[in-house]
Structure 1
Amino acid sequence: MASVIAQHPSARRAWALTRIVRTAALGALFVALGLLVALPTAFVGLQAIFPALNHGSLAHPFAALRTTLAQTDTWPMLGNTLRFGVTVALASIALGVPLGALRGLTRLPAARLWDLLFLAPFLIPPYLAALGWMLLLQPHGYLQQLVGFDLGDYLFSFAGIALTMTLTVFPVVYFAVSRALMSTGGRLAQVARVCGATPWRAFARITLPLAMPAIAASALLAFTMAIEEFGIPSALGARAGVNLLVMSIEARFSDWPIDLSGASVLSTLLALTALVAFVAQRRLLAGRDFDTQTGKPVTSVPLELGHWRVPVLLLFGAVAFCTTLAPIGTIVATSFVRTLSGGLSADNLTLAHFAAVTSAGEGAAALLTSLGLAAATAVLTGAFGFFSAWIIIKTRTPGRATLDGLTLLPHAMPGIVIGVGLILAWNLPLWPVTPYNTWIILLLSYSCLLLPYPVRYASAALRQIGGSLEAAARVHGASGARALRRIVLPLVAPPLAASMMIVFAVASRELVTSLLLSPSGVQTASVFIWQQFEQGSIGDGMALGTLMLVISGIVLTLASLWTRRLDRLY
């Protein structure tokens, strides 16, 4: 290539123009990601250090830090947050590892059905699941109407909140363990059995160590998800007397007097805690893969359950009922009942709640707003994610490592911290134009939070594409942009489309940043559901929640079908 460029002036000019365009594109991408990711993250730390920063002053540095850390409730809240995260992580291990081991090592009847049922908690917004559990277990709830007793005292306790959160996040452990054991199989454990080891010894000395990296990494992820979650602790924690960092941060923004600096200090504590867990997860995965050398490949034969078949199916059924069927059933049932006190009787059924939220009004407007913002977020993050991943993986452009870090940073930042940072960054008098108090601020928050999904999916796909295809296109006269559009993008399209659909589903239900950033006159579906529950119009909120579940399910199903079609085409 160098000799061709040296011999042809036109080729040299084209090469120089390509470098200029690539440098300009990289610069524009850095600016965009800086505004999207780095700016709000930096302002959280700056506001924590300089309490008068929102007034344009750098006076009294570290005053808010000293004041907030000296308050009597700060360290107990941090302790509660850590205890909550650890409890959820341990409970997720206790539930997810046995189920994952059974799924990965045995011939489980209806295995794909159980996978689908355990995947459903990711479809249910955590705050909506918490509201469903409240309606089911609280005094005079559906459980008491059906069987005569309630579990409200347990639900509104630290253990109840931790269990509710565990039922939401344990699938990350289940899927990590089951897939890890599927890949390694049970052959080595069978060899140990032949050599005289008992079943439990073979599992403890062979199978479990092979799955340990997946267990530890997924447990750390469950810990991070627990300490970042706002909906479940906020819905259940107030009545339980449990106060966590994420709840206090939101209260300092929503309750008078507004405490920007105190919220920034607590946000920094929460972000550092999540960042430590994230770094620990990355270090744990780095260089800890097990490589088993067994000579000629042998098909792994799942173990037969035998007389354990019925108990195992009952176990999976009970967990699926608690994680998926009970909360979804409660949400759907509430959307059809006229009054909660009327119970689940035929004469109490109505479609009025669906009519209320689909007719011209706040519910319909909130639904359309969420769907529009989710679609815009999917397109924006898909474009940024693809170009970022291409520069990181397929070029040698200086600054790739920094770009990679910028795209990965939101993955380690709690959503409420991103929301706080966007408020602090854009609610300043120095900006001539600001997205604050407009719908654009919601688009920025969703895009910042969900950018890592398209980047990671596109990066994984690009690593599997050799450089010879682009080089062949360039040799035959295609420009770099044409090769990127006609060759690389179609090959990356299936995983990129899947990631964009995930972004759409998650953005349409985002709660905490929507509560913090929704401007006057703009209401999302999650905020509408939350406010309807607080105001007592529970049926209308659950009707919109049911519609959101249906829409998310349809979108993800279409994404799966489209991804399979693209895989066949390319």
Structure 2
Amino acid sequence: MHRYLSPNSISGWIVTIVLTILILVPLMAVLMQIFFPGLFFGDNQFAGWEILFQIFERKLWSVSLINSLTLATGTAILGTILGGALAILRSSRSFKTAVALDFAAWALLILPSFILAQGWILFASGKGIANQLFSVTWITDLVFQPFGLIMIMTLCKFSYTYLAVTAALEWNVKRYGEAARLCGASNWTTFWTIHTPLLIPAFLSGAALIFMDTIGDFGLPASLAAVYSFPTLPYSIYTALYTAPIRFDMAGVLSLYLVGIIFIAMLFQMWVLKKGKFDFMNERAERQVAKKSRYSFLYTLVNIGFLLIALGIPIGSNLLVSFMKTIGNGISIGNFTLEHYRILFQLDSTMLEGLSNSLLIAGIAAVIGMIIGFFIGYVLIFTNFRLSPLVDSLSIISLAVPGVVLGIGYIFVWNQPWLEPLGLQLYGTPWILILASVAGAIPIAARLMISSMTKIPQSLLSAAALQGASFKERILTILIPLIRASLLTAGLTAFGTSVFDLAVSTILFPPGFMTLPVAINQAFDDLEYGYATAATIFSGTFVVLVIMGLRWMIEKWFNRKQTSKGEMKEHVITGSEHIEEL
């Protein structure tokens, strides 16, 4: 009985309960619609098992399944290669536009996928910017086909691997490389045979995040569907929920297949991680320092070209349209205006109200999600909690399940009459948006925490415990300082993605409580492209600057604190030596 009362067991049970409430219960509420479509409306009639196999009979369902797997697999492979290569380059080599690469990674991560898709549509469509400005007609055929869609998704999703690998490269253990070079290995051989295999957890975490986010993404495929037919599982689920008659059972079946795909991906990741040993941190670890190279100019040019494609095309298209009176009048001096931005900054602007509300919700969700993600990583890496597989599964399921499905589940769960006397009937209040945002932030934070904690040997915490350090002291003085970069990345990533969560906001936003993604989406639905793109450019730039500013201030505070501790330690040592001399 004593082992269940230990801090490790308590952490495990708390994490399990929180994940069950935030993720498992809402998801089960949706999946129950497969067999009991009227369960939450007073009808308990069993619908049968036949609907489970209709995905292989109905053409739309089967095509959606194949398209989702193709899109997610291709994006995961290319996104992992691209993000990992950029992260290694950024950490090992110094070049002038390195900070711009960081900015682009954050921007592409937090900007809503439907806005990025709109930018590519505005650029590559038959009457788009590429055709009008550059007279490039072949770009339409290149973009609007399956491989083109995979490339667009790769440019949008590579940030997950980039951030995970960058955080993993924060520390450098020279001992292994020095041993390899003493045996005659070149720098290139040392890198590929020693350092790269140690980054497998970070690469796998990034690949898993890209795969899950892509297969559950609704905005980008749905936006491109207006000009190119490429139905996916999330889009078909949306169709089931927003066409008459509403098919909750159909949405439940497709959600079940999404969850099944996620479980297979997670099991593969866990199997690979268990096959090797990746805890390489030791007392000789040093912070990675980017080195100057004679090819720095070339790296700068390559990076500029990449940024122009990945960020310049979608954002540039939105930026250009935000200054245009109407898209149909083409690109001319007489068609440019500042009216959209003037309307945006009016005191009664819906966009400013939505931005304020979204920042508040995202800030709360980021802090809570970061804390939960930290303890998920701790439970999975440093404890033998018996429900660890369940914790790992629940921590990432919400990333795979489309926001529309999770939102429906929250309506079923938190709109029950028996919750009203308890004060827990949260549907119709901002609190349900916070809960849903936390659920969406958990998988990102947890994956980054897991990849960072994997490289820390268990012996560090065990040695501290043997010396009498309490659970709190081990967390605050050993674990958090070693993973501070990943912890900061997890919190800021959760914040950025929560601001622009369209699906959850569309389903759950309370009356009279406007959010930013809903306001932008409504403007697009009303064909106010200039106003919508102006709001997107301003809010996206503002949020990215806030994230970069917070990151700079927190790192500066931490470095100052570390310097102060080092000076105090040196002063104490010097004083002790002086006393000994006396």
Superposition TM-score tier, normalisation by shorter sequence: 0.7 to 0.9
Contact 2:64/2:231, CA 8 A, preserved across alignment: yes
Q: Distance in 2 between matches of 1:209 and 1:277?
A: 20
- The corresponding residue for 1:35 is 21
Aligned equivalent of 2:519, options 524, 528, 531: 528
Contact 1:189/1:207, CA 8 A, preserved across alignment: no
Moved more, 550-559 or 426-435: 426-435
Scaled by the length of structure 1, the TM-score of the pair is: 0.77
2:212 equivalent to 1:224: yes
2:311 equivalent to 1:332: no
- The corresponding residue for 1:271 is 259
Q: Distance in 1 between matches of 2:402 and 2:250?
A: 17
Aligned equivalent of 2:129, options 127, 142, 146: 142
Question: What are the equivalent positions in structure 2 for 1:357-368 lying under 5 Å apart?
Answer: 357-359=344-346, 360-368=348-356
Q: Distance in 1 between matches of 2:416 and 2:53?
A: 24
- Structure 1 residues 151-178: Cα deviation after superposition (integer angstroms, max 9, x where no partner): 3343333232221101111244455567
Aligned equivalent of 1:502, options 490, 493, 499: 493
Query: Taking structure 1 as reference, are residues 488 and 367 closer, same or farther at Cα in structure 2, changes over 3 Å only?
Result: same
- Give the CA deviation at 1:144: 2.3
- Structure 1 residues 454-476: Cα deviation after superposition (integer angstroms, max 9, x where no partner): 567788689877896999898xx
2:38 equivalent to 1:52: yes
Aligned equivalent of 1:125, options 112, 129, 136: 112
- The corresponding residue for 1:544 is 535
2:234 equivalent to 1:246: yes
The secondary structure found in structure 2 opposite 1:554 is helix
Moved more, 284-293 or 324-333: 284-293
Query: Taking structure 1 as reference, are residues 44 and 134 closer, same or farther at Cα in structure 2, changes over 3 Å only?
Result: same
Contact 1:337/1:349, CA 8 A, preserved across alignment: yes
- The corresponding residue for 2:509 is 518
- Give the CA deviation at 1:138: 1.9
- Structure 1 residues 47-79: Cα deviation after superposition (integer angstroms, max 9, x where no partner): 223333233415234244345554232222111
Moved more, 43-52 or 261-270: 43-52
- Give the CA deviation at 1:535: 2.2
- Structure 1 residues 103-150: Cα deviation after superposition (integer angstroms, max 9, x where no partner): 566665644444444443224322221111222222332222321234
Q: Distance in 2 between matches of 1:23 and 1:188?
A: 40
Q: Distance in 2 between matches of 1:322 and 1:389?
A: 35
- The corresponding residue for 1:562 is 553
The secondary structure found in structure 2 opposite 1:240 is coil
Of all paired residues, the percent bearing the same amino acid is: 24
Question: What are the equivalent positions in structure 2 for 1:28-107 lying under 5 Å apart?
Answer: 32-55=18-41, 56-67=43-54, 70-93=57-80, 95-96=82-83, 99=86, 102-103=89-90
Q: Distance in 2 between matches of 1:269 and 1:104?
A: 38
Contact 1:213/1:288, CA 8 A, preserved across alignment: no
Q: Distance in 1 between matches of 2:14 and 2:188?
A: 57
Code of the residue aligned with 1:525 in structure 2: it is: L
Contact 1:33/1:406, CA 8 A, preserved across alignment: no
Code of the residue aligned with 2:71 in structure 1: it is: F
Question: What are the equivalent positions in structure 2 for 1:365-384 lying under 5 Å apart?
Answer: 365-381=353-369
Contact 1:275/1:412, CA 8 A, preserved across alignment: no
Q: Distance in 2 between matches of 1:158 and 1:485?
A: 47
- The corresponding residue for 1:12 is none
Code of the residue aligned with 1:285 in structure 2: it is: L
Code of the residue aligned with 1:408 in structure 2: it is: S
Question: What are the equivalent positions in structure 2 for 1:121-200 lying under 5 Å apart?
Answer: 121-150=108-137, 151-174=139-162, 183=172
- The corresponding residue for 1:448 is 439
Query: Taking structure 1 as reference, are residues 298 and 421 closer, same or farther at Cα in structure 2, changes over 3 Å only?
Result: closer
The secondary structure found in structure 2 opposite 1:451 is helix
Q: Distance in 2 between matches of 1:489 and 1:87?
A: 35
Q: Distance in 2 between matches of 1:117 and 1:408?
A: 27
Contact 2:61/2:236, CA 8 A, preserved across alignment: no
- The corresponding residue for 1:261 is 249
Query: Taking structure 1 as reference, are residues 556 and 470 closer, same or farther at Cα in structure 2, changes over 3 Å only?
Result: farther
Query: Taking structure 1 as reference, are residues 68 and 426 closer, same or farther at Cα in structure 2, changes over 3 Å only?
Result: farther
- Give the CA deviation at 1:236: 0.5
Unaligned runs of 5+ in 1: 1-14, 475-479
Unaligned runs of 5+ in 2: 563-582
- Give the CA deviation at 1:425: 3.0
Contact 1:68/1:262, CA 8 A, preserved across alignment: no
Contact 1:418/1:449, CA 8 A, preserved across alignment: no
- Give the CA deviation at 1:191: 5.0
Code of the residue aligned with 1:524 in structure 2: it is: T
Q: Distance in 2 between matches of 1:377 and 1:291?
A: 31
Code of the residue aligned with 2:251 in structure 1: it is: A
Code of the residue aligned with 1:281 in structure 2: it is: Q
The secondary structure found in structure 1 opposite 2:59 is coil
Contact 1:44/1:421, CA 8 A, preserved across alignment: yes
- Give the CA deviation at 1:265: 0.7
- Give the CA deviation at 1:380: 4.1
Query: Taking structure 1 as reference, are residues 378 and 47 closer, same or farther at Cα in structure 2, changes over 3 Å only?
Result: same
Contact 2:15/2:391, CA 8 A, preserved across alignment: no
Query: Taking structure 1 as reference, are residues 143 and 20 closer, same or farther at Cα in structure 2, changes over 3 Å only?
Result: closer
Query: Taking structure 1 as reference, are residues 30 and 206 closer, same or farther at Cα in structure 2, changes over 3 Å only?
Result: closer
- Give the CA deviation at 1:243: 0.5
Aligned equivalent of 2:307, options 309, 320, 325: 320
- Give the CA deviation at 1:240: 0.9
The secondary structure found in structure 1 opposite 2:74 is helix
- The corresponding residue for 1:10 is none
Q: Distance in 2 between matches of 1:523 and 1:172?
A: 29
- The corresponding residue for 2:575 is none
Moved more, 384-393 or 98-107: 384-393
- The corresponding residue for 1:354 is 341
Contact 1:437/1:518, CA 8 A, preserved across alignment: yes
The secondary structure found in structure 1 opposite 2:111 is coil
Query: Taking structure 1 as reference, are residues 289 and 342 closer, same or farther at Cα in structure 2, changes over 3 Å only?
Result: farther
Contact 1:104/1:179, CA 8 A, preserved across alignment: no
Contact 1:377/1:507, CA 8 A, preserved across alignment: yes
Which is bigger in relative contact order (C-alpha 8 A, separation at least 6)?
Answer: 2
Scaled by the length of structure 2, the TM-score of the pair is: 0.76
Contact 1:51/1:61, CA 8 A, preserved across alignment: no
Query: Taking structure 1 as reference, are residues 21 and 96 closer, same or farther at Cα in structure 2, changes over 3 Å only?
Result: closer
- Give the CA deviation at 1:538: 0.6
- Give the CA deviation at 1:448: 1.2
Query: Taking structure 1 as reference, are residues 75 and 564 closer, same or farther at Cα in structure 2, changes over 3 Å only?
Result: same
Report how many residues are paired. 543
- Give the CA deviation at 1:371: 2.2
Moved more, 407-416 or 156-165: 407-416
- Structure 1 residues 204-259: Cα deviation after superposition (integer angstroms, max 9, x where no partner): 77777666665555334322222111111011024211100010111111222111
Contact 1:415/1:449, CA 8 A, preserved across alignment: no
- The corresponding residue for 1:8 is none
Aligned equivalent of 1:288, options 276, 280, 301: 276
Query: Taking structure 1 as reference, are residues 379 and 92 closer, same or farther at Cα in structure 2, changes over 3 Å only?
Result: closer
- The corresponding residue for 1:4 is none
- The corresponding residue for 2:580 is none
Q: Distance in 2 between matches of 1:387 and 1:175?
A: 20
Aligned equivalent of 1:553, options 541, 544, 547: 544
